[in-house]
Amino acid sequence: MKRKVQILLIVLLFLLLIAVRVFIQPYFYDPLIDYFKNDYLQTTIPNLDFSKFFLNVFYRYTLNTIISLAIIYLFFNDFKIIYFSIKFYIIAFVIFGLALFVFLKLDFDYKLIFYARRFLIQPLFVFLLLPAFYYQQLKK
C-alpha cells in the first residue's frame, strides 16, 4: 500500500474515533455521562441497569478496539503486533470491566468509577500502544 494512502487511512480512522466519541451518546445507554457532566460532587450515582450498561460499554469498547486495531495494523503492518494488541485489549477489558463493576457495586469514590469507565469507553490504549510498538521497532 502506498504511504500516502496509508497515512490518509490512519487519519480517517482517527477521525472516526473522534466521531464515535462525539456522536455516540444517543445510541448507547450510559447514564454516567450525564452524571459526570452535572453536579456529581453533590449527587449520588444514578441507578443503573447493570446488564444493559455493561453490554453498551462492551459495544463501545469493541467499536473503539476495532478502529484502534486497524490504526495499529496500518501503522506497523505486522500481524504479531495485532495478535499482541488483541490479547492486550481483551485483558484490559476484563480488568477494567471487573474494576468498574466492583467500584459501582461497592459505591467507591467517584474518581475510581470515572477513570475505570474512561479506560473502557475512550480509545486510550491506542495512544499507549502506538508509541510502545514504535519504540520497539526502533530498538530492532
Of 23, 43, 27, 24, the closest CA to residue 35 belongs to 43
Number of other residues whose CB lies within 10 A of the CB of residue 120? 20
User: Could you say which DSSP state residue 106 is in?
Assistant: T
CA–centroid distance for 36 within its chain: 17
**pTM of structure:** 0.86
- E strand or H helix at 38: none
Range of the domain at 130: 3-139
User: Could you say which DSSP state residue 44 is in?
Assistant: P
Three cell numbers written together for 91? 485483558
Residue with cell 486510550: 124
How many domains are contained in the chain? Answer: 1
Please tell me the distance from the alpha carbon of residue 79 to that of residue 73, in angstroms, as a whole number.
7
Of 100, 20, 2, 26, the closest CA to residue 66 belongs to 20
**Per-position pLDDT tens, the chain of length 140:** 688 999 999 999 999 999 988 887 767 766 666 666 666 556 666 677 778 878 888 988 999 999 999 999 999 999 999 999 999 999 999 999 999 889 888 877 777 877 788 888 889 999 999 999 999 999 87
